[in-house]
Amino acid sequence: MILAEVVRSGFVESVHHGSVVVLDAAGGVVAAAGDVTGPSFPRSSNKPLQTVGMLRAGLRTAEPADLALISGSHFGEPFHVARTRQILAAAGLDESALRCPPSLPLSEHERDVVLRAGGGATPVLMNCSGKHAGMLATCVLNGWSLEDYRDAKHPLQVALAAAVSELTGEPIAATGIDGCGAPVFAVSLTALARGFQRLVEAPPGTAERRVADAMRADPELVAGTGQDDTLLMRGVPGLLAKGGAEGVVAVAVEGVGAVAIKVADGAMRARMPVLVSALRRLGVSAPVLDELATVAIVGGDTRVGEVRSAW
């Protein structure tokens, strides 16, 4: 189904197909489009659920904010890199233990800073390094091997898969390898939304609620300064958000409901307009949603159109 359209100078020049599901406060489906029961890879939207799995496996962190970074896809700002190193150091490790691929920061500014200083791509700058630091810390606490912690058969990954399946209420349909080299678990959009809803509705002090509370308290650690996930969690009280590659995003609002979206062609630009439309169906309103409801299309140095929800 067409979820978003790209308008240039009043003419619809492109469209984005995809699927979206909206759950109410009781977890019932109140609106949906496309395939919301077939499996897809949530990509980095899996991360908060995986962090719950780490806590259940015994992960301890120095500060609650560490859980936000472990659950996030950071943009390589200095405070992201410093906290990743702190998580590793607390486990008696350094960044040489990371098995995520070398990368430059997602932030264009920070990328330029690194390059101007004569630096280059390193694993700690990769957006998933916080998650990998959490995985390694969990392995250290359990006495599990470190070299192969990314392997789907490793005790860590078996534990994380079990947590994802339990939280989403579905068996994992497929296990793939994410961009960072760690496993990613396929579930339906409906299951993904319900998993996020479980995080925000869980009793205080539980692993689920600790992850949700940490992310909402420090959303800059989840993404970065001015990024979509950060803006949403800063702008909508009680909202938990985590985007993923290939056009995925999942959110839940405590006492209101949850949304999960997959853009079929993987276009990231279509996610926020569709998400805003979905949240408005739940009665959620906030100035930040007005800001994210469209994405500017530019001609020269002038806004000449927008990406907007068609659903």
What separation in angstroms does the CA of 50 have from each of 20, 71, 291, 292, 298? Answer: 22, 8, 30, 27, 38
| CA 276 remoteness from chain centre | 17
pLDDT in tens, 75-101: 999 999 999 999 999 999 999 999 999
**Averaged over 174-192, what is the pLDDT?**
98
Instruction: Report, as an integer, the average pLDDT of 56-64.
Output: 97
Share of the chain above pLDDT 70, in %: 100
Question: What pLDDT score does 180 carry?
Answer: 98
- When pLDDT is averaged across residues 54-74 and rounded to a whole number, the result is 98
Q: Give the single-character DSSP code of 181.
A: S
Q: For residue 175, what pLDDT band results from cuts at 50, 70 and 90?
A: very high
pLDDT at 176: 98
172: DSSP letter? -
Q: Mean pLDDT over all residues of the chain?
A: 98
Please choose, from the candidates 258, 281, 280, 263, the residue with its C-alpha nearest in 3D space to the C-alpha of residue 5. Answer: 263
Q: How far apart are CA 126 and CA 141, in angstroms?
A: 24
Q: State mean pLDDT over 297-308.
A: 97
Residue 218's pLDDT band, with cuts at 50, 70 and 90, is very high
Q: E strand or H helix at 155, and its extent?
A: helix 155-168
